[in-house]
Structure 1
């Protein structure tokens, strides 16, 4: 009896561990997709993709805030930078007009995603769930 209990506990522990790892993998996939979407929108807005050509520039790339857009300046000129050392190993750089275009594209993308989600929810709500019978305790 004791061996069986230990076996079940071990099996349950392994299942919980594998589910946790799958959840982490799903989060990484979602983050990678979000990064790709951001980089696609930056490119579409006219941001220039710049790759470091020297070890010094590679070190500077690593030191920049990663995967977020920030404002920088060179002399009197202001520009916007997005660094992705782990992904593309590059930065995206653009001016004020390109940043504004990026914001507009990002808003359009978000609106389209929300509309697609709402359409999917409406489709699910319209389904005739009556055929499934009365909901049991597992439904709540």
Structure 2
């Protein structure tokens, strides 16, 4: 009984972490597209070979046709390469910082909007005065 419960629990954890990982990849790819990276589907043997040769879900600086480009390989979600210039890479980093700042500001606003003394970390209705 206990082993079945542990097996079900571990499967749930794996599925949840896989879903979170996929969401993180999709968010990163949204930023890459917004920064100007071009999507190159792995629809030819050469592109499939390039996709397999690159590390998954990492931006890598490479030389292509005599110029430096940034390449991001995604064999799981879109089965494609994202290719961008140095300017695209700099724009991507700026967008990433702006997204992180916006996320921090949203979290701070949500914490400020919570009434004092209410919630899992507050004093509650009885307060420090012992009502």
- TM-score after normalising by structure 1: 0.76
Find the residue that maps to 2:73 and give its secondary structure.
strand
2:78 matched to 1:53? Answer: no
* SS at 1:67 equivalent: coil
Deviates more, 1:98-107 or 1:123-132: 123-132
Give the conservation status (yes or no) of the 8 Å contact 2:60–2:72: yes
**What count of residue pairs does the alignment treat as equivalent?**
123
- C-alpha deviations, 1:20-64, integer Å up to 9, x for none? 221111111111111001100000001000012322321221221
User: In structure 1, the residue corresponding to 2:82 is in which secondary structure?
Assistant: strand
CA RMSD of aligned residues (A): 2.2
Aligned residue in 1 for 2:88: 98
- Distance, in Å, in 2 between the alignment partners of 1:63 and 1:127 is 55
Report which of the two structures shows the higher radius of gyration computed on alpha carbons.
Answer: 1
Indicate the residue corresponding to 1:17 in structure 2.
Answer: 7
TM-score of the two chains, using structure 2 as the length reference: 0.81
Deviation at 1:128, TM superposition (A): 1.9
